[in-house]
Amino acid sequence: MSGPTHRPGTDQAPADRSGPPFRADHVGSLLRPERLLRARADRASGRIDDAELRVVEDDAIADAVRMQRDLGLRTATDGEFRRATWHMDFIYAISGIRRVEGEGRPVHFKNADGSIDWAPAGLHVDGPLAIEEPIFGDHVDFLRSVASPEQTPKLTIPSPSMVHYRGGAASIDPQVYPDEDAFWAALSAAYASQIRSVAALGCTYLQLDDTSLAYLNDPAQRAEIAAQGRDAEHLHERYIRQVNAALAGRPEGLAVTTHLCRGNFRSSWVAEGGYDFVAESLFGGLEVDGFFLEYDDARSGGFEPLRFVPPGKRVVLGLVTTKRAELERKDDLKRRIDEAARYVPLEQLCLSPQCGFSSTVEGNALTLDDQRAKLELVVETAAEVWG
């Protein structure tokens, strides 16, 4: 791709600011403690009711928030402990979307030892799209109630793109939305309502999690999209426009980031390839305050695409993997931060794990102690790099 680039030193980013994303940050999901997994199993079998499960969830979330505080993280999440997956709990709560069992296309995840196939439920858009009450509003309220004054609670939700990427036009009832422009206008308006509502509840840090904009860097994924008759070469541009439409007029004081993920299920992934294909449109066009980017291994590509990041936006380098227990070396992390700083100024960089630890309830192949060590490493390294 051609176009103007941003080179460190030609423009100076504004002075360091105290708001999110933070120098040491994390994506959001955390490993579920065993007592929570047992309680979810008990609820599924009818041994306990919703109220009893809620007590266990509340207790586990309070412990997780304390853990984040004790490690020195300024971000506090609820670990997504009330969800089964990072995205579908939210998407199925949108009015007009129906969960459809047995129609989800299997997803082929890869890992160092082989592969795992996961067949999630599908979805149909069979009614007017709307978000009339804030989805996860009660999650926001509880998280704010247990966070300490020095912590900034973060709500993570799937981006609007996630409603469209897997199903496309085939999942939309043409009697409801005869063309995709009408669908997108309604979806972006619904998300705009969600954003206003959670901000009114006191949310000041919102993250839009997105696999589509990372998947589209992979030629194999683009070939799959093209085989469905969709415009694989320009789909990312549509997604960026629609996220911006959802964010237009967002409340003042609300910081918004996005996390680009190539798949994260039981220590496995889906897509490969650097950010080159989407970089210019994404970094120059998406109206967010920061980008959480996976950079934990070679399949994530190099730092060269970061030359398109404009002044004033932060890049959170996901250099610490959540897919393996092995702990990275600080010197290696610092070296890679220096490499990234060749393309975007150091003052615009932050550090985090590359993804969540438990994007689905199953979690990655790490222990709670491994997770704590990874987060502690992020905090310590960030303090040594940025002070």
Of the chain, the percentage scoring pLDDT greater than 90 comes to: 76
Chain Cα centroid distance, residue 1: 26
Contact 379, 71 (CB under 8 A): yes
Number of H helices, E strands in the chain: 12, 12
Nearest to 256 by CA among 300, 292, 227, 222: 292
Per-residue pLDDT, 268: 60
Mean pLDDT over residues 32-51, rounded?
97
More confident residue, 204 or 6: 204
* 88 pLDDT more than 50: yes
pTM of the full predicted structure? Answer: 0.91
More confident residue, 256 or 86: 256
- Sequence-distant (≥ 6) Cβ neighbours of residue 295 within 8 angstroms: 303, 317, 318, 319, 336, 340, 354
Per-residue pLDDT, 24: 98
Mean pLDDT over residues 78-102, rounded?
93
* 5 pLDDT more than 70: no
Cis peptide before 21 (omega within 30 of 0): yes
- Note the pLDDT tens digit of each residue in 327-337: 999 999 999 99
Give SS3 for 212. helix
- Note the pLDDT tens digit of each residue in 7-41: 333 333 333 457 999 999 999 999 999 999 999 99
Give the DSSP H/E element, type plus range, for residue 382. helix 368-386
Contact 268, 110 (CB under 8 A): yes
Across all residues in the chain, what is the average pLDDT?
Answer: 90
Per-residue pLDDT, 10: 36
Supply the DSSP string of 98-131, one letter for each residue: EEETT-SPPEEEEETTEEEEE---EEEEEEEEE-
Q: What is the dihedral of CA 175, 179, 182, 185, to 10 degrees?
A: 130
- Note the pLDDT tens digit of each residue in 197-250: 999 999 999 999 998 898 898 898 899 889 888 899 999 999 999 999 999 999
Look up the CATH number of domain 34-386.
3.20.20.210
Per-residue pLDDT, 320: 97
Report the C-alpha gap between 122 and 376 in whole angstroms. 38
Per-residue pLDDT, 61: 98
Report the C-alpha gap between 135 and 369 in whole angstroms. 32
Mean pLDDT over residues 122-145, rounded?
96
Question: Which residues in the chain belong to E strands, given as ranges?
Answer: 75-76, 95-100, 107-111, 114-118, 122-130, 152-153, 155-158, 205-210, 255-260, 290-294, 314-320, 349-353
- Note the pLDDT tens digit of each residue in 346-385: 999 999 999 999 988 887 889 999 999 999 999 999 999 9
Mean pLDDT over residues 167-193, rounded?
94
Mean pLDDT over residues 314-330, rounded?
96
Supply the DSSP string of 56-92, one letter for each residue: HHHHHHHHHHHHHHHHT-SEE--TTTT-SBSSHHHHT
Report the C-alpha gap between 360 and 311 in whole angstroms. 34
Per-residue pLDDT, 15: 34
Per-residue pLDDT, 2: 35
Per-residue pLDDT, 263: 72
- Note the pLDDT tens digit of each residue in 93-119: 999 999 998 655 666 565 676 666 656
Q: What is the dihedral of CA 64, 356, 26, 81, to 10 degrees?
A: -30
